[in-house]
Structure 1
Amino acid sequence: MKGKALCPASCGEIVQGMVQNRNFLVTCPISLFTQATVYLCKNHSCKDMADKSNIKAYQAAMKALEYFGVELVPHKIIIRSQIPRGIGLSSSTADITATCLSVASALGKTISPDKIADIALSIEPSDGIMYAGTMIFDHIGGKWRENLGPIPQMDVYIINTGETLDTCQFNRRNDLYYLNLKKASHVEKALNITRHAIKTNNGRLLGRAMRESAVANQCILFKPHLPEIIKIAQCYGAVGVNTAHSGTALGIFFQRDENVPSAFFRDVRNIVQKYEKSCMFIKTKTINHGPKILKN
């Protein structure tokens, strides 16, 4: 029995923080994908041969099988991913989501985004990329789940400095609650702007929300190159700049199919390297279709 599925990444978050004592983030779905292929085995002798090479994918598969009430084993799990690990692009959540969908596909069943979210959150703090479009999602407890609608069509240039961060350790920081309270007014403002931007399909307004949240998050996870990146992006007509609030990535957003001059990449690279960081660009775009099952 075999199932296969895709799940997109999120380019950091449009907004992340706390409003009225509720943790949340706003997803930013992009066209980088994880593909999971899961092979299920009926034979109990397979139990000792379960594929645990990707422990989170294995846990997701076992929890999905438990949900469906079947005594099968994920004999083999193949994860192929375009998503860089450990920089804040939701790579682990994408693995988990694609795995859950693959298990459902192998069984000829369906599984809801809400159930996938429950499974993901039982494993680790998770993004809301199991839903189509842009989501407000409580990445810690899952209590707040609100679909805002489709994200405007934009091209995205992700800056990968090669630095990584453990999201689970980040979310265990003792000062996180206090620092989220400190920036709460800016986060609430950014969320209100986001709601209006999504409702009116206004990319530039969404860019304003991104910047508001990214700058506010400097008190939690400082990125020394962020202010200069925002300035140079504005000089080249970018729609906005966002950040991985618990990661190292930055995203620079332009209108879809805009011709970005080579000087832009040179200038951005010079800024990043000034802080003794490497600078790799990943070009992608915003999407809205969410995860999907693939034909075997």
Structure 2
Amino acid sequence: MAEASCPASCGELLQGWILGGEKLVSCPINWFSHVSVTAGQPGKNERPLMRQMLLSVLEHLGVPAEAAGGLRIEFDSSIPLAKGMASSTADIAATAQATARHFGTHLGEAMLASLCVQLEPTDSTLFRQLTLFDHQTATTQIAGDWLPPLDILLLESPQTLNTADYHRRDRRQALWDNAATLAQAWALFSQAMQNQDCHQLGEATTLSARASQTLLPKPRFDKLQGIVEQSGIYGLNVAHSGSVVGLLFDADRHDSERLLWLLQQQGICESYPRQHRLRLIAGGVR
């Protein structure tokens, strides 16, 4: 049995028009899709893109496509679907690496990225480092060298959004209108990575989240910003093509129970009825 796993994402730390095109930096968290590839008959429960990725890897390795008929994909994932949490990227990236391992080889990050974007817009969770990534072409991959020590209170809305449908919308004007804001956010993010400064990072992610309101508004966003200011946490981030929101903090410095109390007191939990205590982790397929 060959196995692999890939983390989910709490939306994006940044997403928008950056360095001449739309790019993103995902927010990998400790929530995984686990995939195994074994010899056997294909099952009925695998997700369609997993089978497509298996075929793509066979082609890349020079293995006849007919071999797919003798390969079984099994997976275990509780990552919420269609919420902007990179569930599909986790599935297909883990499938790609598990398939390669079944044939005794390994796919590097650049090849994984290339294979994934051929199937769908892809999150940068497949990179170990926080990476500015052209999620549609994989032509930009700018990695940072700092992993911020962040706890995340992920707020899950019941709203769902098909990422592929979102990317088919004509969003060019809104992206261009927010280009100056995203340039500022990218500059702050780069400074934060250089200075290893969580406060600067939170400023950057909050700027990007605010710009996203013109494209995909999040309920009670103004109240969420108020909670950031009231509690003194680092900032917030959002799923720019989904519905989740993350509150970024340090459990050793900030009171997570008070955060939850503030959310309840201000009625925010009505829009985000499920909350998950998570942590920012290194990305990459394990």
CA drift of 1:62 comes to: 1.1
- What residue is the counterpart of 1:28 in the other structure? 27
- What residue is the counterpart of 2:101 in the other structure? 105
CA drift of 1:67 comes to: 0.8
CA drift of 1:191 comes to: 0.5
Deviations along 1:99-147, one digit per CA (max 9) or x if unpaired, are 1111111111011111111111111111111110100000122221111
* Cα distance change of structure 1 residues 70 and 190 upon mapping to structure 2, 3 Å threshold: same
The code of the aligned residue for 1:129 comes to T
**Contact in 2 for aligned 1:38/1:76 (Cα 8 Å):** yes
Q: What are the ranges of 5 or more consecutive residues in structure 1 without an aligned counterpart?
A: none
Instruction: Provide the C-alpha distance between the structure 1 equivalents of 2:213 and 2:283, rounded to a whole number of angstroms.
Output: 31
Instruction: Provide the C-alpha distance between the structure 2 equivalents of 1:70 and 1:261, rounded to a whole number of angstroms.
Output: 51
The code of the aligned residue for 1:219 comes to T
* Cα distance change of structure 1 residues 179 and 280 upon mapping to structure 2, 3 Å threshold: same
CA drift of 1:82 comes to: 3.5
- What residue is the counterpart of 2:273 in the other structure? 279
Instruction: Provide the C-alpha distance between the structure 1 equivalents of 2:176 and 2:35, rounded to a whole number of angstroms.
Output: 38
Instruction: Provide the C-alpha distance between the structure 1 equivalents of 2:268 and 2:213, rounded to a whole number of angstroms.
Output: 19
CA drift of 1:20 comes to: 4.4
Equivalent in 53, 56, 62 of residue 69 of structure 1? 62
CA drift of 1:279 comes to: 1.7
- What residue is the counterpart of 1:133 in the other structure? 129
The percent of aligned pairs where both chains have the same amino acid is 28
**Contact in 2 for aligned 1:7/1:98 (Cα 8 Å):** yes
| SS of residue paired to 1:171 | helix
**Contact in 2 for aligned 1:153/1:256 (Cα 8 Å):** no
- What residue is the counterpart of 2:190 in the other structure? 195
Check if 1:81 corresponds to 2:92. Answer: no
- What residue is the counterpart of 1:38 in the other structure? 37
Check if 1:150 corresponds to 2:146. Answer: yes
**Contact in 2 for aligned 1:269/1:279 (Cα 8 Å):** no
Equivalent in 288, 291, 294 of residue 285 of structure 2? 291
Instruction: Provide the C-alpha distance between the structure 2 equivalents of 1:40 and 1:125, rounded to a whole number of angstroms.
Output: 29
Residues 176-187 of structure 1: pairs in structure 2 closer than 5 A: 176-187=171-182
The code of the aligned residue for 1:226 comes to F
Q: TM-score, normalised by structure 1?
A: 0.90
Check if 1:3 corresponds to 2:2. Answer: yes
Instruction: Provide the C-alpha distance between the structure 2 equivalents of 1:77 and 1:262, rounded to a whole number of angstroms.
Output: 40
**Contact in 1 for aligned 2:234/2:249 (Cα 8 Å):** yes
CA drift of 1:10 comes to: 1.7
| SS of residue paired to 2:152 | strand
| SS of residue paired to 1:100 | helix
**Contact in 2 for aligned 1:51/1:77 (Cα 8 Å):** no
Instruction: Provide the C-alpha distance between the structure 1 equivalents of 2:195 and 2:51, rounded to a whole number of angstroms.
Output: 41
Instruction: Provide the C-alpha distance between the structure 2 equivalents of 1:97 and 1:263, rounded to a whole number of angstroms.
Output: 37
Instruction: Provide the C-alpha distance between the structure 1 equivalents of 2:256 and 2:151, rounded to a whole number of angstroms.
Output: 14
Q: What are the ranges of 5 or more consecutive residues in structure 2 without an aligned counterpart?
A: none
Deviations along 1:32-91, one digit per CA (max 9) or x if unpaired, are 1111111245xxxx5xx4667300111111111111111321632112114211111111
Instruction: Provide the C-alpha distance between the structure 2 equivalents of 1:134 and 1:272, rounded to a whole number of angstroms.
Output: 33
**Contact in 1 for aligned 2:151/2:278 (Cα 8 Å):** yes
Instruction: Provide the C-alpha distance between the structure 1 equivalents of 2:265 and 2:58, rounded to a whole number of angstroms.
Output: 49
CA drift of 1:5 comes to: 0.7
CA drift of 1:259 comes to: 5.4
Aligned residues: 283
Check if 1:218 corresponds to 2:213. Answer: yes
CA drift of 1:150 comes to: 2.7
The code of the aligned residue for 1:253 comes to L
* Cα distance change of structure 1 residues 289 and 137 upon mapping to structure 2, 3 Å threshold: closer
**Contact in 2 for aligned 1:155/1:257 (Cα 8 Å):** no
Check if 1:168 corresponds to 2:164. Answer: yes
Deviates more, 1:229-238 or 1:191-200: 229-238
Equivalent in 48, 51, 64 of residue 58 of structure 1? 51
CA drift of 1:272 comes to: 4.9
